[in-house]
Every structure is written in structure tokens, then in C-alpha cells.
Amino acid sequence: MLPRRAIGVKATQLETIDLAHRYGFESVEPKPDYLASLSDAELAKLKDDLKSKNLVWGVAGLPADLRAPEDKFAESMKALPAFAKTLRRAGVTRVTKYLSPSHPALTYLQNFKQHVRRVADAASVLDGEGIRFGLEYVGPRTSLVLEQYPFIHTMAETKELIAAAGKRNVGFVLDSFLWYTAHETVADVLSLKGEDVISVDISDAPAGIPVDQQIDRTRALPASTGVIDIGGVLNALNKIGFDGPVRVEPFDPALKAMPREEAVAATSRAIKKAFALIA
């Protein structure tokens, strides 16, 4: 998937589609606001353009804030039905949201109970439009201490949240950097089923930094430093039958400083290098 925002590329929806096609991507990041503005005829033309370029939609981000105060969460949920209908109309079938790994006021149990309810509420709306919902845990130890109370930061804890929410359309966003900083292994990936994984993010970690000192927003292009076993992750995902989008999420200042075409080309080369590790 061409991750426009994650690599700092400024482009319209149509420009993003063109860039994805020219640089060999297979899916593209949707822009829900743009999709909502299209007439039926315009949307049909856009879908035809995607098909002609052998592209499909990747994932959209959930607009509701899972950790906001109750009134703000309720307000954000009011827009979710229209958002979900827009995605269904356009053919987008996957939505994701990260789980903040700490909270300034809620203990783990208080936060867990709140997330169970809110994830279930959001998942119900999304499921009504045939949309799957991926949750991304944030693994770095440095993120756990940013606020008073640590929260979910591992695959095991996310499994508990998904089970407690009890919604059939909820699964994982598996991020190689977050998997690595959570001290997880290929065996953890193999513990999942293909349908459990909604989407995948791949990036490498800076060399020379101990795992527990890695910082979430300081990463590298996949298969560039060799710190993270990208091949092990991708081969495990292939083995369990994952069939969703894979995007690069490097948060690399050097990449973001490049001209748009150069950044997209570098991202394309990196993801192809990572995919070449699949046996």
C-alpha cells in the first residue's frame, strides 16, 4: 500500500492513485472526505480507474477517539455511521486505530473497561457496513512511561481486548517495529489466523539502540538496517494466510525531506526489498 501520510507525501486522492500505479504498489490509501464528496458517477469512474491500474483500497483510519473524554468520544461517534457508509460505498473494507500505551488518569483496568465498550460500539457500526476493524498496540517501553498509567502494549493484551469486545470484525494491525519493541517473536505471529490480521505495517529500527530504548516515531525503511527480522514476520504472515494490505511506516525525516517522486520511489524499492525476503 502507498502510505501517503506515513512517508510525508502531499498528494490528492487522484495523484496518490497515479503515484501508486507508476511505482508498482498494489493498494492505495483512501481519503474518506474526498470519497464522500463524489457523486455516484464520479465514484464509479474512480473505481474503474483503480481497476484499470490493478489497484485496490488499503486501510482508512478510524475517526473516533478511543481515549477521549466521554463527551468528546460520544461526539466523534456521531460521525461514524456516515463515515462507514462512505467507505462501504467506495469499496473500502478495512479501518484501523492505534491503542495509546499509557493514560494520564485511568488505571489499566479502568482504561481496559472503557476500551472494551468503545471498541465494541465502533465495531458494531463498522460491521453494519461490512467493514473490518484493526487495533494496533504500541510496543516501545519508552512509550509506556509518557503518562502516569501504562496500558496495552503487546499482542497478548490486545487479544484480551478483542476477546472482551466480542465483535467478529475486530482484529490486529501487526506492525513490525511495534512487534519487535514488544519483545515478540515469529511464534507470536504464527499464533494468529490470517483473518485475525486486518493490516500490516513494516519498518526497520535504527541500529545501535537497545530495544528498550527504541522510540516509536524514530524508525527506518524496512530491510534497511537489519535490526528487525522483517523476513520472519512476512513469512509467518504468508504461512497463516494473511491477505490484506502491507504498508511502509518508517517515520523517516530524510524520506519526508525528499521530493515527492523520490520519496515514493524509495518507499517502493524498500517494500520490494522486504518482499524479496519471503521464501
Nearest alpha-carbon partner for 88 in 130, 33, 51: 130
Note if the pTM is more than 0.85.
Answer: yes
Taking a C-beta distance cutoff of 8 angstroms, is the pair 57, 28 a contact? yes
Taking a C-beta distance cutoff of 8 angstroms, is the pair 137, 178 a contact? yes
Phi–psi pair at 124, nearest 5 degrees: -65, -45
First to last CA, the chain: 21
Domain locations in the chain as residue ranges: 13-275
- Cell numbers that stand for 157 in this block: 493484551
- pLDDT tens, residue by residue, 177-235: 999 999 999 999 999 999 999 999 999 999 999 999 999 999 999 999 999 999 999 99
What does the radius of gyration of the chain's CA atoms come to, in whole angstroms?
18
- pLDDT tens, residue by residue, 47-98: 999 999 999 999 999 999 999 999 999 999 999 999 999 999 999 999 999 9
**What fold is seen in the domain 13-275?**
TIM Barrel (3.20.20)
Taking a C-beta distance cutoff of 8 angstroms, is the pair 194, 238 a contact? no
H-helix or E-strand spanning residue 172:
strand 170-175
The contacts of residue 218 (CB under 8 Å, 6+ apart) are: 206, 251
Question: Can you say whether residue 208 is alpha, beta or left, with left for phi > 0 and alpha for psi between -120 and 50 degrees?
Answer: left
The pLDDT of residue 5 is above 80: no
Q: How far apart are CA 158 and CA 171, in angstroms?
A: 9
Q: How far apart are CA 14 and CA 89, in angstroms?
A: 17
Check residue 1 and give its pLDDT.
86
